[in-house]
Amino acid sequence: MPPAQPQAPQKIALPGVKYVVAVASGKGGVGKSTVATNLALALQLLGRRVGLLDADIYGPSIPIMMGVQETWDPNAHEWPLEKFGLKLMSMGFWMKPETAMIWRGPMVAKYLTVFLTQIPWGELDFLVIDLPPGTGDAQLTLTQTAPLSGAVIVTTPQDVSLIDARKGLEMFRQVRVPVLGIVENMSFFRGEDGKRYDLFGHGGGKKLADAAGVPFLGEIPIEPKVAECGDQGVPIVRKYPESAVAQSYLALATAVSEQVGKVGAQPELPGLQL
Ligand SMILES: Nc1ncnc2c1ncn2[C@@H]1O[C@H](COP(=O)(O)OP(=O)(O)OP(=O)(O)O)[C@@H](O)[C@H]1O
Ligand SMILES: [Mg+2]
Protein backbone atom coordinates (compact mmCIF):
# COMPACT_ATOMS: atom_id res chain seq x y z
CA MET A 1 0.00 0.00 0.00
CA PRO A 2 1.46 3.45 -0.86
CA PRO A 3 2.22 5.70 2.14
CA ALA A 4 -0.53 8.17 3.05
CA GLN A 5 -0.12 11.63 1.50
CA PRO A 6 0.79 14.24 4.12
CA GLN A 7 -2.06 16.68 4.64
CA ALA A 8 -1.57 20.08 3.03
CA PRO A 9 -1.60 22.97 5.55
CA GLN A 10 -4.91 24.80 5.69
CA LYS A 11 -5.20 28.11 3.81
CA ILE A 12 -5.53 31.30 5.80
CA ALA A 13 -8.47 33.56 4.94
CA LEU A 14 -7.73 37.24 4.36
CA PRO A 15 -11.14 38.75 3.76
CA GLY A 16 -10.11 42.42 3.39
CA VAL A 17 -7.59 41.72 0.64
CA LYS A 18 -8.79 41.28 -2.91
CA TYR A 19 -5.70 39.81 -4.55
CA VAL A 20 -2.73 38.15 -2.90
CA VAL A 21 0.16 37.91 -5.35
CA ALA A 22 3.40 36.02 -4.67
CA VAL A 23 6.62 37.07 -6.39
CA ALA A 24 8.83 34.02 -6.68
CA SER A 25 11.62 32.27 -8.55
CA GLY A 26 13.35 28.96 -8.26
CA LYS A 27 16.68 30.72 -7.89
CA GLY A 28 18.24 33.35 -5.67
CA GLY A 29 19.47 36.74 -6.76
CA VAL A 30 17.34 37.15 -9.89
CA GLY A 31 15.68 40.32 -8.58
CA LYS A 32 12.52 39.06 -6.82
CA SER A 33 12.62 41.57 -3.96
CA THR A 34 13.35 44.43 -6.37
CA VAL A 35 10.47 43.32 -8.60
CA ALA A 36 8.12 42.83 -5.60
CA THR A 37 8.91 46.29 -4.19
CA ASN A 38 8.67 48.18 -7.48
CA LEU A 39 5.61 46.19 -8.56
CA ALA A 40 3.88 47.14 -5.29
CA LEU A 41 4.72 50.83 -5.81
CA ALA A 42 3.69 50.67 -9.47
CA LEU A 43 0.31 49.12 -8.53
CA GLN A 44 -0.10 51.99 -6.11
CA LEU A 45 0.66 54.50 -8.88
CA LEU A 46 -2.16 52.83 -10.81
CA GLY A 47 -4.45 53.81 -7.93
CA ARG A 48 -4.58 50.54 -6.00
CA ARG A 49 -4.33 50.09 -2.22
CA VAL A 50 -1.29 47.92 -1.72
CA GLY A 51 0.54 46.00 1.00
CA LEU A 52 3.97 44.41 0.74
CA LEU A 53 4.83 41.36 2.81
CA ASP A 54 8.43 40.21 2.91
CA ALA A 55 8.23 36.47 3.59
CA ASP A 56 11.94 35.92 3.00
CA ILE A 57 12.99 35.17 6.56
CA TYR A 58 16.41 33.94 5.51
CA GLY A 59 17.41 37.19 3.83
CA PRO A 60 14.77 39.88 4.24
CA SER A 61 15.62 42.79 1.94
CA ILE A 62 12.43 44.86 1.99
CA PRO A 63 13.53 46.87 5.09
CA ILE A 64 16.63 48.10 3.22
CA MET A 65 14.90 48.61 -0.13
CA MET A 66 12.07 50.59 1.50
CA GLY A 67 14.42 52.53 3.76
CA VAL A 68 12.89 51.32 7.01
CA GLN A 69 15.10 50.90 10.04
CA GLU A 70 15.15 47.41 11.49
CA THR A 71 14.00 47.53 15.08
CA TRP A 72 14.08 43.85 16.08
CA ASP A 73 11.45 44.72 18.64
CA PRO A 74 7.92 43.56 17.77
CA ASN A 75 6.48 45.90 20.42
CA ALA A 76 8.16 49.03 19.10
CA HIS A 77 5.58 49.95 16.44
CA GLU A 78 2.03 49.78 15.25
CA TRP A 79 1.96 47.03 12.62
CA PRO A 80 1.94 46.99 9.65
CA LEU A 81 4.36 49.86 9.09
CA GLU A 82 3.55 52.36 6.39
CA LYS A 83 6.07 53.79 3.96
CA PHE A 84 5.44 55.61 0.69
CA GLY A 85 1.76 54.74 1.19
CA LEU A 86 2.45 50.98 1.21
CA LYS A 87 1.57 48.78 4.18
CA LEU A 88 4.69 46.85 5.05
CA MET A 89 5.64 43.78 7.01
CA SER A 90 8.92 41.92 7.12
CA MET A 91 10.57 39.28 9.24
CA GLY A 92 13.49 41.70 9.15
CA PHE A 93 11.59 44.12 11.41
CA TRP A 94 11.30 41.52 14.13
CA MET A 95 14.51 39.58 14.22
CA LYS A 96 18.11 39.40 13.21
CA PRO A 97 18.58 37.25 10.09
CA GLU A 98 20.83 34.74 11.87
CA THR A 99 17.99 33.89 14.29
CA ALA A 100 15.84 32.60 11.47
CA MET A 101 18.57 30.83 9.51
CA ILE A 102 17.84 27.39 10.92
CA TRP A 103 14.05 27.51 10.69
CA ARG A 104 12.25 24.87 8.70
CA GLY A 105 9.01 25.15 6.79
CA PRO A 106 6.49 24.79 9.65
CA MET A 107 8.20 27.51 11.71
CA VAL A 108 8.26 29.84 8.72
CA ALA A 109 4.60 29.10 8.10
CA LYS A 110 3.81 29.87 11.75
CA TYR A 111 5.22 33.38 11.42
CA LEU A 112 3.54 33.88 8.09
CA THR A 113 0.29 32.88 9.77
CA VAL A 114 0.88 35.55 12.42
CA PHE A 115 1.62 38.12 9.72
CA LEU A 116 -1.50 37.24 7.78
CA THR A 117 -3.95 36.81 10.64
CA GLN A 118 -2.82 39.15 13.39
CA ILE A 119 -1.57 42.15 11.45
CA PRO A 120 -4.44 44.50 10.58
CA TRP A 121 -3.88 44.91 6.84
CA GLY A 122 -7.26 46.57 6.43
CA GLU A 123 -8.84 46.83 3.02
CA LEU A 124 -6.34 46.24 0.24
CA ASP A 125 -6.59 45.64 -3.48
CA PHE A 126 -3.24 43.85 -3.56
CA LEU A 127 -0.99 42.19 -1.04
CA VAL A 128 2.32 41.46 -2.76
CA ILE A 129 4.38 38.74 -1.08
CA ASP A 130 8.13 38.50 -1.66
CA LEU A 131 8.89 34.79 -1.31
CA PRO A 132 12.26 33.35 -0.33
CA PRO A 133 14.31 31.90 -3.22
CA GLY A 134 14.09 28.23 -4.07
CA THR A 135 11.48 25.51 -3.98
CA GLY A 136 12.17 23.83 -0.64
CA ASP A 137 9.73 22.98 2.11
CA ALA A 138 9.61 26.55 3.48
CA GLN A 139 8.46 27.89 0.10
CA LEU A 140 6.06 25.02 -0.38
CA THR A 141 4.46 25.61 3.02
CA LEU A 142 4.16 29.33 2.32
CA THR A 143 2.44 28.74 -0.99
CA GLN A 144 0.06 26.29 0.66
CA THR A 145 -0.75 28.54 3.61
CA ALA A 146 -1.15 32.00 2.06
CA PRO A 147 -4.41 32.57 0.16
CA LEU A 148 -2.63 33.26 -3.11
CA SER A 149 -4.57 34.56 -6.10
CA GLY A 150 -1.54 33.84 -8.25
CA ALA A 151 2.22 33.96 -8.64
CA VAL A 152 4.58 36.07 -10.69
CA ILE A 153 7.75 34.15 -11.59
CA VAL A 154 10.92 36.19 -11.99
CA THR A 155 13.71 34.94 -14.19
CA THR A 156 16.76 36.31 -15.96
CA PRO A 157 17.60 35.44 -19.58
CA GLN A 158 20.38 32.96 -18.71
CA ASP A 159 19.77 29.24 -19.17
CA VAL A 160 20.56 28.33 -15.55
CA SER A 161 18.06 30.84 -14.28
CA LEU A 162 15.45 29.54 -16.69
CA ILE A 163 15.89 25.99 -15.39
CA ASP A 164 15.22 27.27 -11.88
CA ALA A 165 12.25 29.33 -13.04
CA ARG A 166 10.83 26.10 -14.44
CA LYS A 167 11.13 24.55 -10.95
CA GLY A 168 9.29 27.55 -9.52
CA LEU A 169 6.53 27.10 -12.10
CA GLU A 170 6.24 23.43 -11.23
CA MET A 171 5.94 24.18 -7.51
CA PHE A 172 2.92 26.44 -8.09
CA ARG A 173 1.38 23.88 -10.41
CA GLN A 174 1.65 21.27 -7.67
CA VAL A 175 -0.08 23.44 -5.09
CA ARG A 176 -2.65 24.58 -7.69
CA VAL A 177 -1.83 28.28 -7.48
CA PRO A 178 -2.33 29.99 -10.85
CA VAL A 179 0.86 31.34 -12.40
CA LEU A 180 0.01 34.87 -13.53
CA GLY A 181 3.06 34.88 -15.76
CA ILE A 182 6.80 35.23 -16.13
CA VAL A 183 8.73 38.48 -15.98
CA GLU A 184 12.26 38.61 -17.34
CA ASN A 185 14.51 40.78 -15.18
CA MET A 186 17.88 42.17 -16.27
CA SER A 187 16.74 41.49 -19.84
CA PHE A 188 18.89 44.00 -21.67
CA PHE A 189 20.92 47.12 -21.16
CA ARG A 190 20.03 50.38 -22.86
CA GLY A 191 23.28 52.27 -23.58
CA GLU A 192 23.66 56.02 -23.62
CA ASP A 193 23.73 55.67 -27.41
CA GLY A 194 20.11 54.47 -27.10
CA LYS A 195 21.05 51.02 -28.38
CA ARG A 196 19.80 47.84 -26.75
CA TYR A 197 22.44 45.36 -25.62
CA ASP A 198 21.28 41.83 -24.85
CA LEU A 199 23.98 41.05 -22.31
CA PHE A 200 22.74 37.60 -21.32
CA GLY A 201 21.02 36.45 -24.51
CA HIS A 202 17.51 37.22 -25.67
CA GLY A 203 14.01 35.85 -25.43
CA GLY A 204 14.54 33.09 -22.82
CA GLY A 205 11.74 34.26 -20.52
CA LYS A 206 9.27 34.55 -23.38
CA LYS A 207 10.26 31.12 -24.69
CA LEU A 208 9.76 29.57 -21.24
CA ALA A 209 6.38 31.30 -20.83
CA ASP A 210 5.27 29.99 -24.23
CA ALA A 211 6.49 26.46 -23.44
CA ALA A 212 4.72 26.48 -20.06
CA GLY A 213 1.54 28.00 -21.51
CA VAL A 214 1.60 31.00 -19.15
CA PRO A 215 1.59 34.72 -20.03
CA PHE A 216 4.83 36.61 -20.57
CA LEU A 217 4.49 39.73 -18.41
CA GLY A 218 7.36 41.74 -19.85
CA GLU A 219 11.01 42.68 -19.59
CA ILE A 220 12.78 44.80 -17.00
CA PRO A 221 16.10 46.20 -18.25
CA ILE A 222 19.31 46.03 -16.25
CA GLU A 223 19.95 49.52 -14.96
CA PRO A 224 22.51 50.43 -12.27
CA LYS A 225 20.08 53.03 -10.86
CA VAL A 226 17.68 50.21 -9.91
CA ALA A 227 20.29 48.74 -7.55
CA GLU A 228 21.41 52.16 -6.35
CA CYS A 229 17.84 53.20 -5.46
CA GLY A 230 17.24 49.87 -3.71
CA ASP A 231 20.38 50.30 -1.60
CA GLN A 232 19.38 53.85 -0.70
CA GLY A 233 15.88 52.87 0.42
CA VAL A 234 13.86 54.73 -2.24
CA PRO A 235 12.86 52.28 -5.01
CA ILE A 236 13.23 53.54 -8.59
CA VAL A 237 9.47 53.64 -9.25
CA ARG A 238 9.22 56.10 -6.37
CA LYS A 239 12.41 58.04 -7.05
CA TYR A 240 12.35 58.27 -10.85
CA PRO A 241 8.78 57.41 -11.90
CA GLU A 242 9.36 58.91 -15.35
CA SER A 243 12.42 56.75 -16.10
CA ALA A 244 12.28 54.01 -18.73
CA VAL A 245 12.84 51.30 -16.07
CA ALA A 246 10.03 52.65 -13.88
CA GLN A 247 7.80 52.54 -16.95
CA SER A 248 8.64 48.86 -17.41
CA TYR A 249 7.54 48.18 -13.80
CA LEU A 250 4.34 50.08 -14.51
CA ALA A 251 3.76 47.95 -17.59
CA LEU A 252 4.31 44.89 -15.38
CA ALA A 253 1.78 46.20 -12.85
CA THR A 254 -0.76 46.67 -15.64
CA ALA A 255 -0.12 43.14 -16.92
CA VAL A 256 -0.45 41.69 -13.40
CA SER A 257 -3.73 43.59 -12.85
CA GLU A 258 -5.08 42.13 -16.09
CA GLN A 259 -4.06 38.60 -15.18
CA VAL A 260 -5.49 38.62 -11.65
CA GLY A 261 -8.71 39.89 -13.21
CA LYS A 262 -8.74 36.73 -15.31
CA VAL A 263 -8.06 34.28 -12.48
CA GLY A 264 -10.40 36.13 -10.11
CA ALA A 265 -10.16 37.37 -6.55
CA GLN A 266 -8.74 35.02 -3.93
CA PRO A 267 -11.13 32.20 -3.20
CA GLU A 268 -13.53 32.40 -0.29
CA LEU A 269 -12.07 30.11 2.35
CA PRO A 270 -13.39 28.86 5.63
CA GLY A 271 -10.39 30.34 7.46
CA LEU A 272 -7.81 28.87 9.77
CA GLN A 273 -8.77 28.05 13.34
CA LEU A 274 -6.10 29.49 15.60
N1 LIG B 1 16.73 45.46 -13.22
C2 LIG B 1 17.79 45.55 -12.44
N3 LIG B 1 18.87 46.31 -12.81
C4 LIG B 1 19.97 46.40 -12.02
N5 LIG B 1 20.11 45.78 -10.85
C6 LIG B 1 19.07 45.02 -10.42
C7 LIG B 1 17.87 44.87 -11.18
N8 LIG B 1 17.03 44.06 -10.49
C9 LIG B 1 17.67 43.72 -9.35
N10 LIG B 1 18.90 44.30 -9.30
C11 LIG B 1 19.91 44.17 -8.24
O12 LIG B 1 20.29 42.78 -8.17
C13 LIG B 1 20.53 42.39 -6.82
C14 LIG B 1 19.61 41.21 -6.46
O15 LIG B 1 18.28 41.67 -6.47
P16 LIG B 1 17.20 41.19 -5.40
O17 LIG B 1 17.75 41.28 -4.02
O18 LIG B 1 15.94 41.88 -5.73
O19 LIG B 1 17.12 39.65 -5.83
P20 LIG B 1 16.36 38.45 -5.10
O21 LIG B 1 15.95 37.51 -6.18
O22 LIG B 1 15.30 38.98 -4.21
O23 LIG B 1 17.52 37.85 -4.24
P24 LIG B 1 17.39 36.74 -3.08
O25 LIG B 1 17.16 35.45 -3.80
O26 LIG B 1 18.69 36.82 -2.38
O27 LIG B 1 16.19 37.12 -2.24
C28 LIG B 1 20.27 43.64 -5.97
O29 LIG B 1 21.49 44.26 -5.73
C30 LIG B 1 19.38 44.50 -6.86
O31 LIG B 1 19.53 45.88 -6.58
MG1 LIG C 1 14.99 38.70 -2.14
pLDDT tens for 79-138 read: 999 999 999 999 888 877 677 667 776 777 788 888 888 999 999 999 999 998 888 877
Burial 92-119 (b: 16+ CB within 10 A, else e): bbbbeeeebeebebeebbebbbebbeee
Q: What are the extents of the domains in the chain? A: 17-51+105-263
Distance CA 53, CA 82 (A): 12
Instruction: Kindly state if the Cβ of 185 falls inside 6 Å of ligand 1.
Output: yes
Is beta strand 196-197 parallel, antiparallel or unpaired with respect to 189-190? antiparallel
Q: Which of 30, 32, 34 most suits a substitution to test ligand 1, by most atoms within 8 Å of the C-beta?
A: 34
Instruction: Kindly state if the Cβ of 60 falls inside 6 Å of ligand 1.
Output: no
User: Shortest CA distance to 124 belongs to which of 265, 237, 22?
Assistant: 265
Instruction: Please check whether residue 104 is in contact with residue 98, taking contact to mean a CB–CB distance below 8 angstroms.
Output: no
Instruction: Kindly state if the Cβ of 39 falls inside 6 Å of ligand 1.
Output: no
Q: Which residue lies with its CA nearest to atom 12 of ligand 1?
A: 31
Atom of ligand 1 nearest to the CA of 245: 1
Q: Which residue lies with its CA nearest to atom 3 of ligand 1?
A: 222
pLDDT at 270: 47
For 44, what's the count of Cα atoms within 13 Å in the CB-facing half-sphere? Answer: 21
Fold for 17-51+105-263, please state it.
Answer: Rossmann fold (3.40.50)
Instruction: Kindly state if the Cβ of 54 falls inside 6 Å of ligand 1.
Output: no
Q: Which residue lies with its CA nearest to atom 11 of ligand 1?
A: 227
Is beta strand 81-83 parallel, antiparallel or unpaired with respect to 86-90? antiparallel
Instruction: Kindly state if the Cβ of 230 falls inside 6 Å of ligand 1.
Output: yes
Distance CA 266, CA 204 (A): 30
Instruction: Kindly state if the Cβ of 61 falls inside 6 Å of ligand 1.
Output: yes
Instruction: Kindly state if the Cβ of 220 falls inside 6 Å of ligand 1.
Output: yes
Instruction: Kindly state if the Cβ of 204 falls inside 6 Å of ligand 1.
Output: no
For 125, what's the count of Cα atoms within 13 Å in the CB-facing half-sphere? Answer: 17
Cα-Cα-Cα-Cα dihedral sign, residues 30, 246, 41, 126: negative
Q: Which residues of the chain have pLDDT under 70?
A: 1-8, 70, 97, 100-101, 105, 266-274
Distances in whole angstroms, Cα of residue 41 to Cα of each of 23, 95, 113, 243: 14, 25, 24, 14
Query: How far apart are the CA of 60 and the centre of ligand 2, in A?
Result: 6
Query: How far apart are the CA of 36 and the centre of ligand 1, in A?
Result: 10
Instruction: Kindly state if the Cβ of 32 falls inside 6 Å of ligand 1.
Output: yes
Atom of ligand 1 nearest to the CA of 230: 31
User: In sequence order, what are the residues at sequence separation of 6 or more whose Cβ sits closer than 8 angstroms to the Cβ of residue 1?
Assistant: none
Instruction: Kindly state if the Cβ of 186 falls inside 6 Å of ligand 1.
Output: yes
